[in-house]
Amino acid sequence: MTVTTSIEEAGFVPASRISAIGVSQILKIGARAQAMKRDGAPVIILGAGEPDFDTPDTVKQAAWKAIQRGDTKYTALDGTPDLKQAIREKFRRENGLDYAADEITVATGAKQVLFNAMMATLNAGDEVIIPTPAWTSYSDIVTIAEGKPLCIPCSAQAGFKLTASQLEAAITPKTKWLILNSPSNPSGAAYSTTDYQPLIEVLLRHPHVRLLVDDMYEHIVYDDFRFVTPAALEPRLKGRTLTVNGVSKAYAMTGWRIGYAGGSRELIKAMAVAQSQSTSCPSSVSQAAAVEALSGPQHFLKERTESFRRRRDLVVAGLNAIDGIDCRVPEGAFYTFAGCAGLVGKTTPAGKPIETDTDFSDYLLQEAHVAVVPGAAFGLSPFFRISYATSETELTEAILRIAAACSRLGSDSDR
């Protein structure tokens, strides 16, 4: 008979680099929502950062062929020659960027690209400027690499975008990187050429600052917004820019774990050293699939973006019709970052005050069975993020529930 007991290690203390970051708030909320769902509550989860579409069949077939061919062994450390070639062509075709093969790196997701970049460049105390609201991983990765995240709040009035004067004021002799993400997770805000230009001018005046641009949501942009990337806008900046991208979002390939970047030969080489002692190489089968994603048919990108646009319009209009919620129209990605300042100070029917966006998100989960992520998780309050990568039916139901829950909030004078 096998006896299974859980093991508890009394007095376990994690390393300070781990206790400094804790578990992501997004994952915590997701776990709570999933647990409520398992217990039978009809929870609608609008917290996930992944498309609800499936990986294209052509991509799956390329993976299957790679398995049959025996592409099942370790590959070159930071990407197969075939994938590097496909990435070079993608950068040239879609971004007007010319990178040599040794200026390209491939990793296990864009997250590992970021990790490698920070591990390869930061010494203890080096500063990284992160405009917020921002994807939580930036500051956590910087912290793990012993750097110091410098979060700069960017207001809704400024379109959640960093201004040149904010950047100028944040740069110190210890600044190593500026991280920009366009279109953004969580705000959906995207930088146009006009938005980038003044920031580029500041960076040109400070040659010790590197620029990491996270272009993960490049293909998900709406209306007549034209996606641009800084290394293509300013050749003088290209050498110190790391242009990060991946297949997770555009090709609905989050589980395949392939991300990539273009940057200076020296940086790419140092990043490969970091990778060599963490994963050895990205998955061989996933790399073959990514070649097909980047080089094969691309028609579904437009179709999927059109579907995301309809959902964005539905969610933004629905949220803006609710008293106390204020939602900017995002240019891209599949998130809205809505303001809930008008609801802070209200009281739930159970008599609990809503003091923060975390209180509001908790209330929505508990009362409306809708899981959203509070702005606090992304470094800007009082807001909440909705991921609209789910069906229009679910989104319509979620908005109805949020509206009903908000209408049940009262002011202190009501009771």
Distances (CA, A) of 85 to 69, 101, 107, 294: 20, 7, 15, 10
- Please select the residue that binds ligand PMP; options are 47, 230, 259, 332, rule is CB under 6 A: 259
Binding to ligand PMP (CB under 6 A) within 37-96 occurs at: 49
Specify the residue, 209 or 220, whose C-beta has the smaller distance to ligand PMP: 220
Piece in contact with ligand PMP (CB under 6 A), picked from 104-112, 162-170, 322-330, 397-405: 104-112
Specify the residue, 175 or 187, whose C-beta has the smaller distance to ligand PMP: 187
Specify the residue, 242 or 322, whose C-beta has the smaller distance to ligand PMP: 242
Distances (CA, A) of 143 to 29, 214, 295: 22, 18, 36
- Please select the residue that binds ligand PMP; options are 95, 163, 182, 185, rule is CB under 6 A: 185
Based on the shown chain and the rule CB under 6 A, indicate whether residue 110 belongs to the binding site for ligand PMP: yes
Residue 125 gets which letter from DSSP? T
Binding to ligand PMP (CB under 6 A) within 163-182 occurs at: 181
Based on the shown chain and the rule CB under 6 A, indicate whether residue 251 belongs to the binding site for ligand PMP: no
Based on the shown chain and the rule CB under 6 A, indicate whether residue 24 belongs to the binding site for ligand PMP: no
User: Would you mind telling me the total number of residues written for the chain in this entry?
Assistant: 415
List, in sequence order, the alpha helices (H) in 48-207.
57-69, 81-95, 110-121, 137-144, 164-170, 193-205
Distance CA(326)–CA(105), nearest Å, equals 40
Q: Specify burial of residue 403 (Cβ count, 10 A radius: 0-12, 13-18, 19+).
A: middle
3-state secondary structure of 245: strand
Q: Pattern 358-377, binding to ligand PMP, x per CB under 6 A? A: --------------------
Interior/surface letters 305-322, b for 16+ CB within 10 angstroms, e for the rest: bebbbebbeebbebbeeb
Specify the residue, 133 or 259, whose C-beta has the smaller distance to ligand PMP: 259
Q: Are 241 and 268 in contact (CB under 8 A)?
A: no
Q: How far is the CB of 58 from ligand PMP (least distance, A)?
A: 20
Binding to ligand PMP (CB under 6 A) within 4-23 occurs at: none
Q: How far is the CB of 337 from ligand PMP (least distance, A)?
A: 13
Phi–psi pair at 202, nearest 5 degrees: -65, -45
- Note the residues at the interface with ligand PMP (CB under 6 A): 49, 109-111, 135, 181, 185, 214, 216, 246, 248, 254, 259
